[in-house]
A and B are shown apart, each in its own frame.
Chain A
Amino acid sequence: MRLAFILGEIGSGLRRNLAMVTSVILVTFISLTFVGAAGMLQLQINQMKGFWYDKVQVAVFLCVDTSTAATCAAGPVTDEQRTEIKNTLESPAVTQYVDTYVYESQDDALGHFRDQFANSPIVDSVTADQLPESFRVSLVDPEKYEVINEIFSSLPGVEVVVDQREILERVFSVMNAASLVAVGIAAIMIVCAILLIATTIRLSAFSRRRETGIMRLVGASKAVIQLPFILEGVIAAVIGALLASVTLWAVARFFIGDWLAREYPDTAFISESSVFLLAPGLILLGAVLAGVSSLLTLRRYLKV
Chain B
Amino acid sequence: MIRFDNVTKVYDQNSRPALDRVSLEVDRGDFVFLVGPSGSGKSTFIRLVLKEDRATRGSVYVAGQNVANIPSWRVPKLRRGIGVVFQDFRLLPNKTVAANVAFAMQVIGKSRAMIRETVPEVLKTVGLEGKDHRMPHELSGGEQQRVAIARAVVNKPGILLADEPTGNLDPTTSMGIMKVLDRINQNGTTVVMATHDNVIVNDWRKRVIELKDGKVVRDEAEGIYAGAQEDAK
Contacts and interface: CB of A to CB of B under 8 A. Distances in A.
A240 B203 CA distance: 64
A48 B77 CA distance: 61
Nearest to B111: A1
22 contacts: A1-B106, A1-B110, A1-B112, A2-B109, A211-B103, A213-B90, A214-B92, A214-B107, A214-B151, A215-B107, A218-B83, A218-B107, A218-B152, A219-B78, A219-B82, A219-B155, A220-B107, A220-B108, A221-B76, A224-B107, A224-B108, A225-B107
B215 interface: no
Tell me what chain A mostly uses at the interface: helix, strand, loop, or mixed.
helix
Given A218-B104, A219-B79, A222-B72, 11 more contacts: A1-B109, A2-B109, A210-B90, A216-B79, A217-B50, A218-B107, A218-B108, A218-B155, A219-B155, A224-B108, A224-B109
Interface in B126-152: 151-152
Interface residues of A, number: 18
Interface in A255-304: 304
Contacts of B97: none
B205 interface: no
Interface of A: 1-2, 5, 210-211, 213-222, 224-225, 304
Interface in B80-117: 80-84, 90, 92, 103-104, 106-112
A218 B109 contact: no
- The range of chain B's interface size is 20 to 34
Interface of B: 50, 72-73, 76-84, 90, 92, 103-104, 106-112, 151-152, 155
B225 to A, nearest CB: 28
Residue among B72, B78, B103 facing the most chain A CB atoms (10 A cut-off): B103
A220 B92 CA distance: 16
Contacts of B90: 210, 213-214
B96 to A, nearest CB: 15
Nearest to A220: B107
Given A2-B109, A219-B155, A220-B108, A214 B103 contact: yes
Contacts of A215: 107
A218 B75 CA distance: 11
Residue among B79, B81, B110 facing the most chain A CB atoms (10 A cut-off): B79
A214 B103 CA distance: 9
Contacts of B83: 218
A75 B78 CA distance: 92
Contacts of B109: 1-2, 224
A215 B100 CA distance: 11
